[in-house]
Amino acid sequence: MKKKAKIFLAIGIVISIAAFYFAFKNVPLNELLNYLSSINYLWLFPSVFVVFISFALRAFRWMLILEPASKISFWKAFHPLMIGFMLNCILPGRVGEVARPAILQKKENVPFSTGLATVVVERIFDSSILIILFVAMLAYIDIDPQLSISFGKYNLNRETLVSIGGNIFKLMIILIAGIILFSFSSIRRAVKWTINKIPPLFSLTSVSLKNKIQKFCASLICFADNLSTGFSFINHPKKICICIGLSFIIWVLSAFSFYIIALGCPGIKLSYLELFAVMIIICFFIALPSVPGFWGIWEAGGVFALSLFGISAKEAAGFTLASHAIQIFPVIIIGVISAMLSGVDTLQILKERKNIL
């Protein structure tokens, strides 16, 4: 593992431990265990089924995004997607996001940068819908503006949520603007022209250095071409509309899985919209660095979100732990099965991408 990956993991561990502490510091262990034993886990099965459907829709959406660059079947999109999400749950640095295009390159001969571009587009769809739903949540869900919850030296309140949502919105706008600009052939030509001007600047250096620079620039131009191919989805308005609809349904189903789990959790008497808000807040929290599987920050986000609706610390901690496990472990199991069915040696693929590990 590279030094930067180790640093990222160390930061994630510190954040996760701190998040666990502040999320559970007011909940005695015996009370938490008693609550977890009181949950009706029969609700796990319909919840997991809904989660599976949402991932199937994700795979179909990714297949549509990939279609202008490379037409692949549903299962050839589903298996890399599930393997990627599985790796995010068990390995640091969220390597699953880059494992997916690496697997596509290995199995379907789709250039890595093209696959990576489609993953970026997919994340933009998710972030865009999440922001829209967040705005709707603030408009229709009553959150006391005076309520403030302390996590160490930080105070989390409605204003904090608005600030986090605003930052995500700004990042989303930057990404969308970059994709739109790169879709113009004149911009791509300008980028290539600039790259081609780099080797002559080193004309007085050694032959070996000049060759390395020329090789690097040629690879950079190839990367830019493949990237633009991955972004070519933007030229298909009908597919964009379909993917917007799919993205909305995916989040609706994800929130519904939370609602189903809550039916078996004592003390969690919240409406579907309120649990939708809880899920959105958790999504904001897991954008932070953490250990694999988002342990700690998921719980901190859940406890904070549930406290906004008057749920006690014990019920909030128990529900958040249970819902986290139900969301994470089926993904790991399905991802492992996908790796076995598709014959993918994920660790070997990641090692071949030296910029990942």
* pTM for the predicted model, two decimal places: 0.81
**Cβ atoms within 10 Å, residue 33:** 11
Instruction: Supply the pLDDT for residue 191.
Output: 80
CA distances 16 to 88, 126, 286, 301, 357, Å, are: 15, 24, 10, 11, 22
Instruction: Supply the pLDDT for residue 239.
Output: 86
Instruction: Supply the pLDDT for residue 252.
Output: 94
Instruction: Supply the pLDDT for residue 353.
Output: 58
Q: Which of 328, 329, 326, 313 is nearest to 268 (CA)?
A: 313
Instruction: Supply the pLDDT for residue 356.
Output: 45
3-state secondary structure (DSSP) of residue 261: helix
Q: Which H or E run includes 230?
A: helix 207-230
Q: Please list the helix, strand and coil fractions of the chain in percent, rounded to the nearest 5, in that order.
A: 80, 0, 20
pLDDT along the chain (357 residues), means of 10: 58 68 74 88 92 95 88 91 89 81 87 86 86 78 63 62 72 76 75 81 75 80 72 80 92 94 91 90 79 82 84 88 88 90 74 54
3-state secondary structure (DSSP) of residue 308: coil
Distance between CA atoms of 69 and 228, rounded to whole angstroms?
9
DSSP string for 55-91: HHHHHHHHHHHHTTT----HHHHHHHHHHHHHHHHHS
Task: Determine the Cα angle at 126 with ends 333 and 168, to 5°.
Answer: 120
Task: Determine the Cα angle at 181 with ends 175 and 171, to 5°.
Answer: 15
Distance between CA atoms of 42 and 101, rounded to whole angstroms?
36
Q: Which of 355, 108, 122 is nearest to 231 (CA)?
A: 122
Instruction: Supply the pLDDT for residue 2.
Output: 55
